[in-house]
Amino acid sequence: MYTHLKTESRGQVALLTISAPQSLNALNSTILGEMNDYLDHFDASLHRCLVITGEGAKSFVAGADISEMATLDAAAGEAFGRLGASVFRKVETLACPVIAAVNGYALGGGCELALACDIRICSDNARFGQPEVGLGIIPGFSGTVRLARAVGMGMAKQLIFTGKPIRSDEALRIGLVNAVVPQAELLDRALELAAQIAAQAPLAVQAAKKCINSGWDLDADEAIAFENRAFGRCFATEDQKQGMRAFLEKQKYEFQGK
């Protein structure tokens, strides 16, 4: 169906692989368009978690396609940025959790894609960075927004202003990633975590994601009120009723997403 995306189902977990190895999976408008279509048709009732990775051992996403960007004027550049930002916003707001399995380079748009995911696990050979200023531009797919939220304003400014990449151990130290694992174990570890998430009550997980994301943009009282309403709605679900019954009776219940 897609030229540069590979899609799989692993039970209740979906796996999306960006496949453009000749360019180290660099993002162009074609790939972004395919991702946009995939996300628009994603069924969170069928898949309870999404794992995103890149083809090959060298690169998650090496950045945006410079050969395409080099020809853009100001209006076209802004439009390209809006396209990438829109796609990554769909990743961030997807109903179910999204895990980035970062294999190798995650530079520029690749780092921004990882930042749009809920959880980031990387291989020990991963490299993260926002090198755009060395090309006369800035991060254009919401990197200036999400990087600061992930690692703090001071560290985000250092990474963006210098354009220098960091290794996986430094990414873990500053809180950019959740875990670093050997390259050979990366996908298995990401899928294992996804399966653990998928085993939980999916409507509750979705509500928790929405509360956490929305809380960033609300003051404390509004965020707490938002959480209170979401908490209350959980008690209208069959999963809540059956899950608590099973707990009290020391039984196991498989959540149905109802």
Residue with tokens 């853009």: 72
32: helix, coil or strand?
Answer: helix
| CA dist., res. 35 & res. 30, Å (int) | 9
Q: Which of 68, 132, 185, 238 is catalytic?
A: 132
* Active-site annotation holds for 112: yes
* Active-site annotation holds for 192: no
Q: Are 114 and 168 in contact (CB under 8 A)?
A: no
DSSP 217: T
Residue with tokens 């410079």: 66
CB under 8 Å to 162, separation ≥6 — which residues?
133
| CA dist., res. 13 & res. 48, Å (int) | 6
Q: Which of 68, 112, 185, 254 is catalytic?
A: 112
Phi-psi region of 10 (alpha: psi -120 to 50; beta: other; left: phi over 0): beta
Backbone angles phi, psi at 254, to 5 degrees: -95, 120
Secondary structure E strands in 55-117: 59-61, 98-102, 105-107
Q: Catalytic residue positions? A: 112, 132
